[in-house]
């Protein structure tokens, strides 16, 4: 053995007894051994593991996000647009008068919506609504895929999600809104029943034609309430939900094939779900909707009518202003559409169409107001507020700033009969009682400031009976009568008949008889209606039914009550018949019916009135002078080409035309009067002027020589009338 080998062998360390028994020291003379490499995993396996890890991580994050979203997203308050509703005003026959808001919506309870209409909507939008969850993830994914691949934008939303979008959120297409919709829908399903959600959906969905909700849609497309919709009509409204504007066949007739296909799809869905039989489906025909109409605004008379109704509701405490402004009210008025139209025509015929401001500057001042009331019920059947609400906002039917003039005089006589008043000489006041009608005669028995009213045109009449003084509207007579009765009692009687106690200038003084009070046309119509109803007053009403969101609301009782005695009211009616037959209101005879009435003129001829009634209808008409720029009251001298405008002119002509047309289908009926003792008047028909036969001047053929003729009636005082005409 060589030394080198020996030294190497000698230098080798001894084996470690604690080492692995299989360990052997490497022989440095041998080539190094390679450690076998560990086998590597394939790339697909690595990717799979990574994907699995990401999926698990994503699942954890998604679950966390869902939990966080559910906890963080709460059900918000309804958005303003969803709860905004217009107030719906209807005529007494149920036809639409007006809507006073931009949003055409009227919420209804689910039980008002026919079952087939509800089922049609479900067939169109969510057939599994009653059995499925609030959200459908598969449908959402499918809709997203179809949108991405160009098959059209689809929502994949259930009815619950659509309701959340309509009611709580908005229509913006964002991921944030969609996420909120998702969580709110889940929570909502835990808090509301399916029926509550469906009701909300049907009241918030847009159907086109500015109609929000199925009730508004029923009126917009078929002119009826939702409960009157048939299956075919309901299916069409359901079809509209997909594309309201495009599927309106009246505005887009070119889309009719698509509309019919969608309508058929809805009906076929109802058959598939067992809600409709195949036979019923086959019998249905497409229900063409009515032609689209412009949105109903407040132009023309509508604004005045709405204003009057709102004032009626708020002034009586039925609804406060703030609540009414919140909308959602369905208001059935007492207004009759035919009589309303007749009143408008009468004003246009006798006044509006005759105005020529370019040629006659005074015509710029003319304003008209009118109101008609049923005496038996107190219901207001027609109002005229002005030429157009969008041009003249002040309602001439309800304003209280023009003197009523001599239309107040009948209340003085009613008070006299009601109280059994006597003259200064101790004579009972009846239609025959004589008064001194001298112009500027100072009143007697008044302890206040001396008062000597002028008669119209300064005319003096000497001794004149009350009936004739009424016909001729003699101020001197009625100022004295007011003192004889007692101005305070006159005021109480006017209020009892229907004038508001707060009427401006309704002051207990002798001048009260001449009508300085500024009651409205509607106030006066109620008071005259009380006279026509034999003294029974039914507080005038403009509303017969009121509801909100389908819930009826109470209205005050309008049960008539005896305001003044029947004899007082009926005797006043008998006197007022003379005004129409032979006095200042003869133009009212053109109505062709027995009528009673009174003319009136405000101070300085700034207003002219005619208040009259038949047994069936009391109507008051006034023309008023107002500068359209300054708003100042102006005289009507020269208006309509007339030297003076008085109550016996255009106002009485309007009254006659309206009354004739409004009562055209009503049998002619005479007054059934019960007069005060000694006040009965002979039933002799009037004799036309110039045709009196010889010996027809009085009962015995002999005149009294002073222009007055005895009627032969035995009464407390002589029954004499000017001009040799008998009292009919």
Q: Is 263:211 a contact under the CB 8 Å cutoff? A: no
Helices and strands (H, E) in the chain, number of each type: 22, 16
Query: How many other CB atoms are found less than 10 A from the CB of residue 37?
Result: 6
Has 557 been annotated as catalytic?
no
Stretch (H or E) spanning 623: strand 618-625
Q: What is the token pair recorded at 49?
A: 């593991």
Classify the phi-psi angles of 394: left when phi > 0, otherwise alpha if psi is within -120 to 50, otherwise beta. beta
| Alpha helices per DSSP H over 520-678 | 521-532, 566-581, 650-662
106, 125, 567, 634: the catalytic one is 125
Q: Dihedral, CA atoms, 514, 614, 344, 356, nearest 10 degrees?
A: -50
| Phi, psi values for residue 62, rounded to 5° | -65, -45
671 burial (CB, 10 Å; 0-12 / 13-18 / 19+) is middle
Query: Which of 86, 205, 406, 511 is labelled catalytic?
Result: 406
Structure tokens at 458: 């300064």
3-state DSSP call for residue 360? coil
Cα distances from 376 to residues 30, 98, 242, 588, 618, in angstroms, run 134, 27, 51, 21, 10
CA distance 630 to 637: 18
* Residue 34 DSSP one-character state: P
**Helix, strand, coil content of the chain in percent (nearest 5):** 40, 10, 50
- Residue pointed to by tokens 């019920």: 377
Measured CA to CA, the distance from residue 379 to residue 541 in angstroms comes to: 5
Q: What is the full DSSP assignment across 70-98?
A: HHH----PPPHHHH--PPEEE-TTS-EEE
DSSP H helical segments within 149-223, as ranges?
A: 159-167, 175-191, 194-204, 214-222
- CB burial of 26-35 (b: ≥16 within 10 Å; e: otherwise) equals eeeeeeeeee
Q: Determine how β-strand 88-90 pairs with β-strand 329-333.
A: parallel
Residue 365 tokens read as 């001042």
Question: What does the alpha-carbon distance between residue 601 and residue 409 come to, in Å, rounded to a whole number?
Answer: 12
* CA–CA gap between residue 422 and residue 433 (Å, rounded): 10
> Does the active-site annotation cover 8?
no
Alpha carbon separation from 480 to 343, 427, 445, 501 (Å, rounded)? 37, 13, 9, 23
Give me the sheet containing 96-99, strands edge to edge: 96-99, 88-90, 329-333, 543-548, 551-552
HEC assignment per residue over 43-67: HHHHHHHHHHHHHHHHHHHHHHHHH
Neighbours of 522 (CB within 10 A): 28
Q: Print the SS3 string covering 284-332.
A: CCCCCCCCCCCCCCCCCCHHHHHHHHHHHHHHCCCCCHHHHHCCCEEEE
Q: How far apart are CA 128 and CA 158, in angstroms?
A: 9
Please identify every residue annotated as catalytic. Answer: 125, 406
């Amino acid at each position: 053995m060589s030394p080198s080998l020996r030294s190497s062998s000698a230098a080798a360390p001894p084996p470690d007894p604690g080492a692995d028994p299989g360990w052997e020291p490497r022989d440095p003379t041998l080539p190094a051994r390679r450690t076998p490499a560990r086998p590597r995993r394939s790339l697909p396996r690595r990717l799979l593991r990574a994907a699995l890890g990401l999926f698990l991580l994503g699942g954890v994050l998604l679950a966390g996000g869902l939990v966080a979203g559910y906890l963080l997203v709460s059900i918000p308050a309804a958005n303003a647009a969803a709860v905004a509703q217009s107030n719906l005003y209807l005529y007494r026959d149920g036809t639409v008068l007006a809507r006073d808001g931009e949003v055409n919506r009227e919420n209804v309870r689910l039980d008002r919506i026919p079952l087939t209409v509800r089922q049609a909507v479900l067939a169109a939008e969510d057939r599994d609504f009653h059995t499925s969850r609030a959200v459908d993830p598969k449908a959402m994914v499918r809709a997203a895929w179809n949108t991405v691949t160009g098959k059209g934008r689809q929502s994949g939303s259930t009815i619950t999600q659509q309701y959340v979008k309509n009611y709580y959120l908005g229509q913006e297409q964002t991921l944030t809104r969609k996420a909120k919709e998702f969580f709110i829908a889940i929570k909502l399903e835990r808090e509301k029943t399916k029926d509550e959600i469906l009701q909300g959906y049907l009241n918030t969905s847009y159907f086109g034609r500015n109609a929000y909700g199925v009730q508004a849609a029923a009126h917009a497309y078929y002119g009826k309430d939702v409960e009157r919709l048939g299956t075919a009509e309901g299916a069409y409204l359901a079809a509209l939900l997909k594309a309201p504007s495009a599927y309106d066949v009246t505005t887009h007739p070119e889309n009719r094939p698509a509309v019919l296909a969608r309508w058929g799809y809805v009906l076929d869905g109802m058959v598939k779900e067992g809600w409709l039989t195949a036979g019923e489906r086959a019998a249905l025909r497409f229900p063409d909707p009515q032609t689209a109409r412009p949105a109903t605004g407040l132009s023309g008379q509508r604004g005045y009518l709405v204003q009057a109704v709102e004032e009626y509701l708020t002034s009586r405490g039925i609804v406060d202003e703030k609540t009414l402004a919140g909308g959602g009210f369905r208001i059935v008025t007492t207004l009759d559409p035919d009589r309303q139209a007749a009143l408008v025509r009468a004003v246009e015929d006798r006044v509006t169409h005759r105005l020529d401001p370019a040629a006659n500057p005074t015509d710029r001042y003319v304003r008209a107001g009118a109101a008609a009331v049923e005496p038996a019920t107190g219901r207001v059947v027609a109002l005229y507020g002005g030429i157009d609400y969008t041009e003249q906002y002040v309602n001439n039917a309800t304003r209280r700033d023009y003197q009523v003039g001599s239309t107040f005089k009948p209340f003085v006589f009613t008070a006299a009969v009601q109280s059994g008043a006597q003259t200064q000489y101790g004579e009972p006041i009846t239609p025959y009682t004589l008064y001194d009608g001298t112009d500027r005669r100072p009143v007697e028995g008044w302890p206040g400031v001396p008062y000597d009213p002028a008669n119209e045109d300064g005319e003096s009449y000497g001794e004149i009976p009350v009936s004739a003084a009424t016909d001729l509207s003699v101020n001197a007579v009625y100022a004295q009568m007011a003192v004889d009765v007692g101005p305070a009692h006159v005021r109480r009687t006017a209020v009892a008949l229907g004038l508001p106690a707060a009427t401006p200038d309704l002051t207990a003084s002798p001048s009260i008889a001449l009508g300085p009070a500024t009651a409205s046309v509607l106030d006066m119509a109620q008071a005259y209606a009380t006279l026509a109803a034999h003294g029974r007053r039914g507080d005038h009403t403009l509303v017969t039914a009121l509801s909100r969101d389908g819930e009826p609301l109470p209205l005050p009782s309008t049960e008539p009550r005896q305001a003044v005695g029947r004899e007082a009211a009926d005797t006043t009616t008998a006197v007022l018949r003379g005004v129409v037959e032979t006095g200042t209101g003869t133009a009212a005879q053109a109505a062709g019916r027995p009528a009673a009435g009174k003319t009136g003129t405000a101070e300085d001829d700034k207003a002219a009135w005619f208040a009259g009634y038949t047994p069936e209808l009391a109507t008051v008409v006034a023309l008023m002078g107002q500068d359209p720029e300054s708003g100042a009251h102006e005289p009507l001298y020269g208006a309509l080409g007339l030297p003076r405008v008085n109550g016996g002119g255009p106002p009485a002509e309007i009254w006659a035309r309206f009354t004739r047309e409004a009562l055209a289908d009503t049998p002619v009926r005479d007054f059934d009067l019960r007069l005060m003792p000694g006040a009965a008047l002979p039933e002799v028909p009037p004799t036309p002027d110039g045709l009196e036969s010889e010996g027809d001047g009085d009962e015995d053929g002999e005149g009294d020589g002073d222009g007055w003729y005895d009627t032969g009636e035995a009464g407390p005082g002589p029954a004499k009338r000017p001009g040799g005409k008998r009292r009919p």
